[in-house]
Structure 1
């Protein structure tokens, strides 16, 4: 063979050439990966999660698999991936700082709540949601922060240009966060994730929702300072999967509440589903299911 004949690239070289070399290229590759797996991430995972969690609570799944913390955490991380990938292009050093502050607040308020009963009411975790530190899950921000970010994004999308009004944005996002907890907490109490010391609303005290108003306001202030509102709205409009984590929320917690007969929380979850339809979200995932 001639010395100047072209050589065939090795498998390692071909793989290296496919790896994005810029942040923009990396973000495009993540967008493609999530977009091609939307139905699996946003429908299959929460549906399987709802069945496995209900099965654990009802005793259908034996130990040590019932409520296995790493299985729960893995499922949550997969369902969060569309949100993380969707928000990633918006991140700057300023955003990292403010999200870091929100994470610190999350740990602080949860620790205070467990030790004092303020502001959510007296409660305790009865199932370990991954590694715990001082009675608080280390992965707590993975559970809490996406919830408030989803509420923020949905309200910004539905409000459109009206979202420029700071007070209107604060009011609607805070109300949406509390409404999401109306779905979350009764379902979690029914599963046995945590318990309150009495509660009039499906085992949840009304004081819990006053605490969520406080946390929602703190979160909105932090998110307002972390991200440029115009950039958030522009990304929302061109990223069809950015609210798929909220689709997962509706399927997972709506299904759990239906099973346990928590009719009002299930109805609120359905209302969020209607809001997502109105916002024209998850259309391509449903079309893929129809065409399969």
Structure 2
């Protein structure tokens, strides 16, 4: 069975990013050859994302044609998505900067989500859905750290600044941006968007606790200190925020006429690549494998549900 062209392109692009990631690991091990792998892998990923399905005699012409098309169709939010992805790359080379890079990449994704929504529903409703999503996510976190509901017993006591009501700023920003990505990926189904967020959190828990963004003290842990209640809470909160977004601006789910096939949902597969990679960097190999499997299953489920209508 032949893979769809876009899956082949992005699969090859992520493989090239894997080469760059391997190079970063070599650099961390004081192997200078790693820089060569980074130098080859990063630009190669972009080339393969454009024309990886046309390897052969038509590669050059396809690459040129799609590059021209990309330039003509690139929207501002796409540059923010690209910045979001690029800001993940230096993490292996600057582990101490995890907090700075994490906040910067999440902020870029938030602004990208805001721009994407604004193109479809206007600035007023775009800001409204962003404020509601961030507000609901922040409220759930504030209540959660004080009462143990809806996620379980945890604390942000060791989280780095900046904080909002004791919660890292990147958390409410992420609630809006990643929920929008999940909602688009799910075809507007709030229940599925919530599930995609819960599957994303499978990787987030071991990584962020390793970085001491939050600490668990729940008496019923099942994964990286988090209880089952946490993942049900993510499903519920993510689904609730998704429902709110669809009520404020249902047009956000619609493609604009003449627009490129790519939409903001691409943020989710980007996370499916970088999140397991981050876990590998902190020595959580089992968690990395489980995270990759969970997010790939989420992507497959979303595709199946969309195809069945």
Fold conserved (TM > 0.5)?
yes
Q: Unmatched 5+ residue regions in structure 2?
A: 1-70, 305-309
Per-residue deviation, residues 145-195 of structure 1 (Å, max 9, x unmatched): 112111101111xxxxxx5xxxxx233222222222223223222332211
Which is worse superposed, 116-125 or 133-142?
133-142
Contact residue 80 and residue 108 of structure 2 kept, 8 A = no
Which aligned runs of 4 or more in structure 1 are off by greater than 6 angstroms? 273-278
1:255 positional shift: 0.9
**Aligned twin of 1:267:** 293
Structure 2: how far apart are the matches of 1:34 and 1:223?
18
**Aligned twin of 1:178:** 198
Contact residue 195 and residue 235 of structure 2 kept, 8 A = yes
Structure 1: how far apart are the matches of 2:273 and 2:258?
23
Contact residue 155 and residue 173 of structure 1 kept, 8 A = yes
Match of 1:215 among 230, 237, 249: 237
Query: Equivalent residue of 1:200, what SS?
Result: strand
Contact residue 42 and residue 247 of structure 1 kept, 8 A = no
Query: Equivalent residue of 1:243, what SS?
Result: helix
1:109 positional shift: 1.5
Q: Unmatched 5+ residue regions in structure 1?
A: 1-27, 157-162, 164-168, 279-292
**Aligned twin of 1:87:** 117
**Aligned twin of 2:267:** 245
**Aligned-pair Cα RMSD in Å:** 3.4
Query: Equivalent residue of 1:120, what SS?
Result: coil
Contact residue 99 and residue 222 of structure 1 kept, 8 A = no
Equivalent pairs counted in the alignment come to: 227
- Is residue 228 of structure 2 the alignment partner of residue 206 of structure 1? yes
Describe the shift of the 1:138–1:189 C-alpha distance in structure 2 as closer, same or farther (beyond 3 A): closer
Contact residue 83 and residue 105 of structure 2 kept, 8 A = no
1:258 positional shift: 3.6
Match of 2:179 among 148, 152, 172: 148
Structure 1: how far apart are the matches of 2:217 and 2:127?
36
Structure 1: how far apart are the matches of 2:290 and 2:128?
38
